[in-house]
A and B are shown apart, each in its own frame.
Chain A
């Protein structure tokens, strides 16, 4: 079953923070985050595993709440380059293929 991402879209000014959520109705093993620029392929950002710690990538970090089966992606002090669509992919077990959410469109304005 497809994970649900929220919000569907967000507009920020440079320097503002944002949170993107990815929720599942099933118990997850891992959550994978990607960013896609317009007309390009999704680029892998990070993977979070059940029982794992919060991960970070530059000013982008993420957490995985096993009780809620939800992962959150945190973008702090956003930059223009953060604009794009963010997708989460979820796996129910190690080695399982990913199921992707519908994406969250993020626009950072000067």
Chain B
């Protein structure tokens, strides 16, 4: 079955630690995205990548880093520079299918800083 997988589902981090969230898709989508969602809030774009080996900052990129070495994978690292990282993180991918893009989301990773 095609889809987007994220791991782990729950992640606990101590202050000062870097953590990496995994996102993999087998939909053959070109574009991938990372969003952050705080309780009761909307989706805020952290980073996006439209092609392998290229990525762009979104609205709230500070304290985060990404890589896109393979089409299928777009890991997100939450660094110690991110002062308030506790949130629900959603990965998404999209592809252009005439006449418009279709975007789907992974199941999410809930990160808690202890």
Residues of A within 8 A of B (CB): 29-30, 32, 34, 39-44, 47, 49, 87, 89, 91, 94-98, 100-103, 105
Please state if B100 and A44 are interface contacts (CB–CB under 8 Å).
no
Q: Residue A97 contacts which of B31, B40, B98, B105 (CB distance < 8 angstroms)? A: B31
Please state if B100 and A41 are interface contacts (CB–CB under 8 Å).
no
Chain A residue at minimum C-beta to C-beta distance from B99: A49
Please state if B102 and A41 are interface contacts (CB–CB under 8 Å).
no
In the complex, which range does the number of interface residues on chain B fall in?
Answer: 20 to 34
Chain A residue at minimum C-beta to C-beta distance from B107: A41
A residues in contact with B105, CB < 8 Å: 34, 41-43
Q: Which 8 pairs between the two chains have the least Cβ-Cβ distance?
A: A41-B105, A102-B42, A30-B100, A100-B43, A95-B96, A103-B42, A42-B105, A41-B107
Instruction: Annotate B82-114 by CB proximity to A: 1 below 8 A, 0 otherwise.
Output: 000000101000101011111111111010000
Q: Is the interface of B mostly helix, strand, loop or mixed?
A: strand
Please state if B103 and A98 are interface contacts (CB–CB under 8 Å).
yes
Q: Within the assembled complex, what's the spacing in Å between the Cα atoms of A89 and B90?
A: 15
Q: Within the assembled complex, what's the spacing in Å between the Cα atoms of A103 and B90?
A: 15
Q: Residue B107 contacts which of A30, A40, A101 (CB distance < 8 angstroms)? A: A40
Q: Within the assembled complex, what's the spacing in Å between the Cα atoms of A104 and B10?
A: 26
13 examples of A-B residue contacts, CB within 8 angstroms = A30-B100, A30-B101, A39-B88, A39-B110, A41-B105, A41-B106, A41-B107, A87-B42, A87-B43, A91-B101, A94-B101, A96-B101, A98-B94
